[in-house]
Amino acid sequence: MNTISRELGKIRFLILADFRVQMLFRLGILIQLLNVTIAAASYYFLTTLFHGSSEVMKRYSTDVVSYILLGLTMNPIFTTSLVGFISALETTYVSRALERIMMAPTSPYSLFFSRMANGYITSIIAALLYLAIGIAVFRVRLGTGNPLAVLLILLLGAIATIAVGMLLAQVFFYTYTGKGSGGSVVIFVQGFMSVFTGATFPIEVLPTPLRWISAMLPQTHAIRAARLVLAGRAIFDTVIIQDLLFLIGFCMVMLPVGVWLMRKGLEHMRKEGYSPQPRFATARRFG
Amino acid sequence: MKIAVAAEQVSKVYRIRETYDGPPTRRLLMARFLFGETFKGVVTVREKKVVNNLNLSLAEGDVMALLGPNGAGKSTLLEMIATGLTPDEGRITVNGYDTVRQRDQAKLFITPIFPMFGAQNMWTARQNLEYAALLHNIPRPEMISRIDKILSVIGLAARADELVMRFSTGMRVRLILGMGLMIDAPIYLMDEPFIGIDPHMAIEIRSFLKEQIINRGRSVLLATNVLEDVEHLCNKAALICEGRLVTCGTLQQLKSNLHHNDTIRLEVTRLNGTSESLLDSLRQLTETRNVTLSAQNGLSHFQLLTSDSRGCLPGIIEIIQKGGGEIRHVQVMKPSLADVFLTYTGHHLM
């Protein structure tokens, strides 16, 4: 218990310290706020082309604008869960904070979670902004479902996605070059997420083979369940129960695997050293 | 005496990736397209043993220099002792705790001062000190009482709440040392702590280290290739070259182990043709070797090596005076650590 509260104290310190740094660039924060507004507006004007509704949308008891803005609200939380570890690893590796913490009697997870917490804070602020702008300006309909149940589903989805994030972090452990390899992965994953998780359009419009990819991702299940609950469906609805069971099963299997892989990855760094060079390169002649 | 750090037959191998020019074929062009224009064609990975079968022990209260040229393996050894890296072979213990199997316990005894990790530039000095204390589980009340004391010790009290990015190099070095003092575990591991600071500041920081760390009985392993740091701060030195421990001992032992201890230089006038016979007489003296003579502007310069300058100097003076020479200047030089290093390894330190 003592250890947990001590580590939480460290996370709190790091979050506040990073927050103070962000406050040094207030203009940047204002620009981010402006970006959210512009993104919401551009999606709104784009969706007016489709007359606001479609057959697929009826399943979610919503219109296209509300569907997209709700997706934009949830998406950053899952993105942070997914890329949090790899981004934290890369930034702490480049600043050499990772090396320092490997020598200290502190869990590296305190460092990773503090970085992720900052991502979550930004995501939640962005989510609230999307909602506020959506409701006030674009008359988004949120639905009449239980908001607490939605939050719990999102939390479960975020935890399941963290497990995927731990798998994704392995890319860094085995390829770190100090040239922003993690950054490229983050950009790729963000693009991938926007297509396959049903955040910006329903997965029902994807070709059947691609829907299989969607079905494998915990975010898809979390976003769908959250949407359906918000649309007023009962939590015991078959589709929602299936989604929740998937998420629980995913967490039970993938979280221990993710934690194990993270431990192996950190040991790998301790063994291979911290020099920036690809570790997978083998003696091979091209040409 | 209790052993603070012991390394037993420790080795560390790094895999180094190298590229060479290959013949310009289609596959090479494709590889360049994928990996970038700097890709030369052939990639090889060779293994380099950066620490090689090294044995070392640091007793409690000792201040030992790890002396060696760049790339000798000093930093890797320190990182292994600090638990940041695991040895590929051998075993390291810190206060009796194995740095791999009992890593958590071993960490509690270590104060790592690695200036290359730097301080957080966008934080204040106070935040950096607090961060160091938090990472090393210093209880909050103790941390608060230590911060102000250390800020005044490192001379940054007036700028405690200023961003580190506005600090000069010397101030940053002092801050990093301050972060070490916040931890203040009994074994200090320091990797080139004076890098990038001017000689005046180096003197100030050396005396600071002596007062705040060494005089309080802390054990210190100091990796450096700056001899002045070693002479001023350390009582022992371990010479490392190409990952191997060449020799280890007190500074006095290392110097006295050399075949010649001292170099004697004499500036003599009025020799007038007797120099060759003088040289022969000097060579006859026991305890002297490599006697040489050079002449410039009417002055003769004798240089000789001896293991006992105090014992043979009267004899040398007598021979020169008997030969009609007038001694203008005598210089006795003790061997430096650079001489020790050169003798043992055949390499210069830098």
For residues A76-84, give the mean pLDDT. Answer: 90
A273/B41 CB distance under 8 A: no
pLDDT at A279: 41
Task: Grade residue A262 by pLDDT with cuts at 50, 70 and 90.
Answer: very high
ipTM tops 0.85:
no
A286 belongs to a structural domain = no
pLDDT digits 0-9 by tens, A17-65: 888 888 877 777 788 778 888 887 887 777 777 665 567 777 777 778 7
Taking the CA of residue B22 and the nearest CA in chain A, the distance in Å comes to: 7
On the question of pLDDT at B128 being above 80, the answer is: yes
Separation of alpha carbons B244 and A102, rounded Å: 25
Find which of B51, B134, B138 to mutate to test the A interface (most A CBs within 10 Å of its CB): B134
A211 belongs to a structural domain = yes
pLDDT digits 0-9 by tens, A213-252: 999 999 999 999 999 998 888 888 888 999 999 999 999 9
A183 belongs to a structural domain = yes
For residues B59-63, give the mean pLDDT. Answer: 94
Of B45, B83, B120, the CB nearest to A281: B45
CB neighbours of residue B61 within 10 Å: 16
A284 belongs to a structural domain = no
Residues of B in contact with A99 (CB under 8 A): 79, 84, 114, 117
Q: Which residues contact A49 (CB under 8 A, 6 or more apart)?
A: none
B42/A286 CB distance under 8 A: yes
Of A106, A273, A287, the CB nearest to B28: A287
pLDDT digits 0-9 by tens, B219-254: 999 998 888 888 889 999 999 988 999 989 998 888
Of A10, A102, A287, the CB nearest to B134: A10
CB neighbours of residue B249 within 10 Å: 16
pLDDT at A281: 41
The share of chain A scoring above pLDDT 70, in percent, equals 90
A279 belongs to a structural domain = no
**Which residues of B lie closer than 8 Å to A, measured between beta carbons?**
14-17, 22-28, 31, 41-45, 76, 79, 82-86, 88, 104, 107-108, 110, 112, 114, 116-118, 120, 122-123, 127, 130-131, 134-137, 140
A100 touches chain B (CB under 8 A): yes
Q: Which residues contact B1 (CB under 8 A, 6 or more apart)?
A: B59, B60, B61
A200 belongs to a structural domain = yes
Residues of B in contact with A286 (CB under 8 A): 22, 25, 27-28, 31, 41-43
> Among A101-115, B7-21, B32-46, whose mean pLDDT is lowest?
B32-46
Specify the long-range contacts of residues A145-150, CB closer than 8 Å, at least 24 apart: A145/A228, A145/A229, A145/A230, A145/A231, A145/A232, A145/A233, A146/A229, A146/A235, A147/A230, A149/A229, A149/A235, A150/A226, A150/A229, A150/A230
Which range of residues forms the domain containing residue A261? 2-48+58-272
A280 belongs to a structural domain = no
What is the set of domains in chain B, with CATH numbers?
Answer: 60-256 (3.40.50.300), 259-334 (3.30.70.1340)
At how many degrees (to 10) do helices A64-94 and A147-175 cross?
40
Residues of A in contact with B86 (CB under 8 A): 267, 270-271
Question: How many domains does chain A fold into?
Answer: 1
Task: Grade residue A159 by pLDDT with cuts at 50, 70 and 90.
Answer: very high
Separation of alpha carbons B82 and B71, rounded Å: 18
Q: Are strands B219-224 and B187-191 parallel, antiparallel or unpaired?
A: parallel
A53 belongs to a structural domain = no
B25/A286 CB distance under 8 A: yes
